[in-house]
Amino acid sequence: MSLALYRIDDRLIHGQVVVGWGQPLHVSFIVLVDDEVSSSDWEQDLYRMGVPPQIEVIFASVDQAAQLFSTWQTDERVGILLVGDIDTAVALAARVPQVRRFNVGGVHHRTGRKERLRFVYLTDDEAAKLRDLAARGVDVTAQDVPTARAVPIGEFT
Amino acid sequence: MAPLKGALGRALLRLFAVQGSYNYERMLGVGVGVAEEPLLRDLADGKYRPAVARGAHFFNSHPYLTGLAVGAAARAEHDGAPPDQIERLREALCGPLGSLGDRLVWAGWLPLLSGLTIAAIALGAGWFAVAGFLIVYNIGHVALRWWALNAGWTYGARVSVALHSPMLQKALALLGPAMAFAVGFALPLAARFLAVPFPRWGQLAAVVTAGLVFLALRWRSDRLNGLRMALGLSAVALVVGLIWQ
Amino acid sequence: MILPIEVLIALLVWGTLVGVDLVSLPQMMIARPLVAGTVAGAILGDIPTGLRLGVVFELLQYDILPVGAVRYPEYGPATVAAVATAHAAPGGEVLGLGLGALVGLVTALVGGVTINGLRRLNSRIVHAAAATLESGDPGALVRVHVGGLLRDGLRAALVTSVGLVLAWLARPLLAGALAVRDGRPALLLAAVVVAAGLAAGAAGTLRLVGTGPNLKWFAAGLGGGLLVAVWLR
């Protein structure tokens, strides 16, 4: 079964992920790939609090993710892989060629970012990086919850 | 450390309107800034305004639990935490608080009580059931808001300690099954309550249509929703009805 | 529908409070159709109609996954309008149910569109005020926020008004056509609306329940409810 969703979401673990995607996909583990969180105990503690006890949370840096990816891929349970920003997504896709798709679930406003969709704000640089990723054959779409339409990359970058 | 006199109460009142300027750019941010401001008034002159500005940055979470972030950020400002650490704290709280609140309230407390109320109405309790719903729901609602703000202020940057509270964990563990049971119990009773005035063929039509709509909603949850299905079916029923005459 | 002016005003005020409660203030759940409908029924002196439409729209509301920035219909003011339509409908409670639900569904759609529109407008206003907000001026911060609150009040009043106008129009336009042939068209309408509510309630709840251990509890509840419903017949 392995990883059913590869998601870019700067809130990482929240209700849309746990309730919105977790329930219909029958998720049993969440892999959170983030260099900073993977070295911060208090943040890991917080993110674990947001998840029901039956779901396992695995924290990894990009390096660790590249090493451990095959074990998640062969895991018989269903999992979600989360990254918090475009750079991590690009780095991960470069290191792990098996990552063939990304769901842009939520990137919020920050100085320099422009609104692309109501839940996606990107700088021009970030938009270019996403297009680049798509040009290399990764399927990039934007979709906040499973009941919404998956917006193709051409419509939001 | 004691907060400014009356500041926690003022922040709590303002938290009831935390989503008042809901927008896609900062989500609840502006409301969070407004709610946090009373707790920041005793900061030194050069610190007050930057702290207020930080408070209004992007924030998105469950409204009832947002007080935790308000209290924690205000406390961290008083403890003299560096600005980037406070920003990091606020950002790290968005997701987990949102997830906890969604499970606790939107997927727990609210549908549990709503299901029980529907069942009670169907069994003839009338408006008493609705009054009971409002009272019981809001005891939990206000208690949660107050607990969140206090816990945030008490623990500051160490808020995850507060989230380990056994009561909170127990509530989470109980609410999921209780909600599932209550709404499951309510559905057949609601069907009976609503279809009682129908003649036999109307009841049959309602049951068959309900089954088909349910399957349709399960099949294409990305395109279909309850409102669209109901509007579409109503339009069909209207046309059929008008041709019928 | 000829309602005394003071009743109309009371409905408008109630619908506005209900609309503001949903997101802005104070989220005490008077926006839930169960509450919105029952109180609207009380205002009209017809609580049973309020309860019935309240249950229909409460079920439809289960379909909304209330997580994140998802667009959703607004069922609170819609239920108020639905109850106003259904109250004392000429063809009895079945016609009232169908006609009321129809007005409510359209109002819910309008409400959802205005919520999204207001959030877009608020985004522009907050964006334009970025420099002032960054200065940390508390007065400016409160002004931006209170502006949003007031706009939501206006929005809620507008949606309720639209609903009440639809309620006023629905009876002369549709009631006659639905009442022909012993009211069978009305019954068909009522039946499909009830069906859609039940289906949406079940589908929405199952999305929250998932396929984990809670599914057994849902099934147990469903079985218990069925037993009681059959036993009551």
Give the ipTM. 0.95
Which residue is it, tokens 């409460």? C58
Question: In this structure, what DSSP letter does residue B120 have?
Answer: H
B206 and B92 both lie in a single domain: no
pLDDT at B86: 95
Q: What are phi and psi of C125, to 5 degrees?
A: -65, -45
Residues B184 and B211 grouped into a single domain: no
- Alpha carbon distance A89, C135 (integer Å): 34
Which residues from chain C sit within 8 angstroms of residue A106, using beta carbons?
68-69
User: Domain containing B85: what range?
Assistant: 7-197
Neighbours of chain C (3+ CB pairs under 8 A): A, B
Q: What residue segments make up the domains of chain C, in order of their start?
A: 5-232
Terminal-to-terminal C-alpha distance of chain B: 76
CA distance B190 to chain A (A): 25
> Touching check for A142 and chain B: CB below 8 Å?
no
Contact status, residue C178 vs residue C98, Cβ threshold 8 Å: yes
DSSP β-ladder status, A78-83 and A2-9: parallel
pLDDT in tens, C130-168: 999 999 999 999 999 999 999 999 999 999 999 999 999
Do B122 and B189 share a structural domain? yes
B75 and B32 share one domain: yes
Among the listed residues B93, B111, B72, B75, the one whose alpha carbon sits nearest the alpha carbon of residue B1: B75
Residues B54 and B95 in one domain: yes
**All residues at 6 or more sequence positions from B218 whose CB lies less than 8 Å from its CB, including other chains:** C203, C206
Same domain, B112 and B217: no
Contact B96, A14 (CB under 8 A): yes
- Average pLDDT, whole number, for chain C? 92
Does B1 reside within a domain?
A: no
Best of B12, B14, B15, B21 to substitute, by most chain C Cβ atoms within 10 angstroms, is B21
Rounded to a whole number of angstroms, the distance from the CA of C77 to the nearest CA of chain B is 15
Q: Is the peptide bond before C26 cis (omega within 30 degrees of 0)?
A: yes
> Please, are residues B151 and B159 in contact by the beta-carbon 8 Å criterion?
yes
Tokens of C57: 């729209």
Residue B242 belongs to some domain of the structure? yes
Mode of pairing for the β-strands spanning A101-106 and A151-152: unpaired
Residue pair C141/B33 in contact (Cβ under 8 Å)? The answer is yes
Q: Is B2 part of a structural domain of the chain?
A: no
CA dist A86 and C79 (Å) reads: 43
Whether residue A19 and residue C68 make contact (CB cut-off 8 A), yes or no, is: no
Q: Which residues of chain C are within 8 Å of residue B207 when distances are taken between CB atoms? A: 195
> Do residues C36 and C111 lie in contact, with contact meaning Cβ atoms separated by under 8 Å?
no
Of A136-145, B45-54, C83-92, least confident by mean pLDDT is C83-92
Do B153 and B223 lie in one domain? The reply is no
**Minimal Cβ distance to C67: which of A20, A54, A118:** A20
Instruction: Retrieve residue B128's tokens.
Output: 């008493």
- How sure is the predictor about C67, in pLDDT bands with cuts at 50, 70 and 90? low
Q: What is the pLDDT of residues B183-219, one digit of tens each?
A: 999 999 999 999 988 999 999 999 999 999 999 988 8
Contact criterion met (CB < 8 Å) for B141 and C29: yes
Q: What is the largest CA-CA distance in chain A?
A: 42
Asked whether the beta carbons of B66 and B97 are under 8 A apart, the reply is yes
Q: Is residue B112 domain-shared with residue B155, that is, in the same domain?
A: yes
The verdict on a CB contact (< 8 Å) between C24 and B19 is yes
Q: Do A148 and C69 touch (CB under 8 A)?
A: no
Q: Of B197, B212, B227, which residue is a domain's last? A: B197
Phi, psi dihedral angles at A25 (to 5 degrees): -90, -5
Average pLDDT over residues B123-128: 96
List B95's β-bridge partners, or say none.
none
H/E stretch holding A3 reads strand A2-9
With CA atoms as reference, the chain A residue closest to B165 would be: A49
Percent of residues, chain A, with pLDDT higher than 70: 99
Counting the structural domains of chain B, the total is 2
- C-beta of residue C158 within 8 angstroms of C-beta of residue B223: no
The helix/strand count (H/E) of chain A reads as 6, 9
- Considering all CA atoms of chain B, what is the largest pairwise distance in Å, rounded to the nearest integer? 78
**Interface-testing mutation among A11, A77, A147, A151, with chain C (most C C-beta atoms within 10 A):** A147
DSSP letters for C106-143: HHHHHHHHHHHHHHHHHHHHHHHTHHHHHHT-HHHHHH
| Structural domains of chain A ordered from first start | 2-155 (3.40.35.10)
Please tell me the distance from the alpha carbon of residue C157 to that of residue C19, in angstroms, as a whole number.
8
Query: Residue B84 has what pLDDT?
Result: 93
- For residue range B150-183, list pLDDT tens digits in order: 999 999 988 888 988 899 999 999 999 999 999 9
Q: Phi, psi at residue B27, to the nearest 5°?
A: 50, -115
The answer on B204 and B140 residing in a single domain is: no
- Give the nearest chain A residue to C63 (CA atoms): A147
